[in-house]
Amino acid sequence: MIEANQLTKRFGSFTAIRDVSFTVQPGEIVGFLGPNGAGKSTTMRILSGVFPPSSGRAVVAGHDVVAEPLAARRQVGYFPERVAIYFDLTVREYLDYVAQMKELTGAARRSAIGAALESAGVTHVAHRLIGTLSKGYRQRVGIAQALLGMPRVLILDEPTSGLDPEQVAEIRELITSFRGRSTVILSTHILPEVEATCDRVIIINKGEVLAVDTPQNLNYRLRQSSEIFLDVVGPAETVMAKLRGLEGVLEVSQPPRTGSPNHIVVRTDPERDLRAVLAATITRSGWDLRELRPVRLTLEDIFLTVISETDSRRIAGETTAEPR
């Protein structure tokens, strides 16, 4: 549904993004994750047809954004980081204005406005002036304009920026409801937002894509070992000593800040699944096993690891490069 192939955008001597490549499948919600200034908004604007790339190719719903700009734009609903909303219009008037710009007419326009109001959850405030709405509802109105005309692709650039926690939760729930109905690419620098809403993540930093995968696969790829959390009712030191003697166990420790002497973390060889062995050892020893689960990296851990590894490789390359 979305194909980016070696996209590069230069503004004078400054290169905002360099050789950005990824694909998004139909019906997916994909998070475009990176710190402020990483190149997220630049990529979003290229995909939505705001400006062309300096080089590379982008295809949206089968249409090249440079060779077929109008056809590509008709497939896209775009929520920019700073959406232009007119405070002196009612919600319905504003959506009618946007629908006219999208060349929707007659019954089709009325139907599209009604559908967008309902999908964005703003039907009950359609009669109100936008200037009287909360920021959360203004964000919903911005998303409603992106939904007009039932676009096949939604490009949402920082849709929860500046919202309070309750409003953020509402917008996340709304975005999740689009799964399977539209292809969504969601740009953000907020890690929990991606974790809560997205099927896959694209990590970008300093204008370059560093990783494209599911959080689960990134978790597996980046771990040097596997970790298993145990809640065991038994003498902690004896239990830990017993587990240290098992083949494939690299380290046994108690996690900090849990507040329970029964909590143990076992670090193992990532190629070996020792969960059954651990459970059998504990039960045969006469101890009660109340919980056993793998410990996963958080998205924050994954993000920081990817950024750190890339920076380390870049520094190493600069250090070993021959002087010119």
Of the given ranges (42-51, 110-119, 174-183, 313-322), which has the lowest mean pLDDT?
A: 313-322
Rounded CA separation 237/252 (Å): 10
Which of 37-51, 153-167, 206-220 tops mean pLDDT?
Answer: 37-51
Of 67-76, 280-289, 304-313, least confident by mean pLDDT is: 304-313
Any idea what DSSP says for residue 40? H
Q: Are 288 and 250 in contact (CB under 8 A)?
A: no
Name the burial class of residue 321, with classes exposed (0-12), middle (13-18) and buried (19+) by CB atoms within 10 angstroms of its CB. exposed
Alpha helix positions (H), 31-164: 40-48, 69-74, 91-101, 106-119, 135-147
* CA-to-CA separations, 63 to 72, 75, 191, 315, in angstroms, rounded: 5, 9, 31, 39
- DSSP, res 255: P
pLDDT of residue 6: 96
Under 8 Å between Cβ of 190 and 256:
no
Domain annotation for the chain: domains and CATH numbers: 2-219 (3.40.50.300), 224-294 (3.30.70.100)
Instruction: Provide mean pLDDT across the span 90-96.
Output: 96
Predicted pLDDT at 215? 78
What is the rounded distance in angstroms from the CA atom of residue 28 to the CA atom of residue 218?
A: 18
Most confident of 74-83, 85-94, 175-184, 265-274: 85-94
- Sign for the CA dihedral angle at 190, 195, 198, 204 comes to positive
Whether the pLDDT of residue 314 is over 70: the answer is no
Length of the chain, in residues? 324
Distant-in-sequence, close-in-space partners of 236: CB < 8 Å, separation ≥ 6: 254, 261, 262, 264
7-16, 29-38, 87-96, 297-306: least confident range: 297-306
Q: What is the mean pLDDT of residues 269-276?
A: 85
Q: What is the pLDDT of residues 172-208, one digit of tens each?
A: 888 888 888 889 999 887 777 787 888 999 999 889 9
Alpha helices (runs of H) in the chain, residue ranges in sequence order: 40-48, 69-74, 91-101, 106-119, 135-147, 165-176, 191-197, 215-222, 236-244, 275-284, 299-320
Average pLDDT for the chain: 87
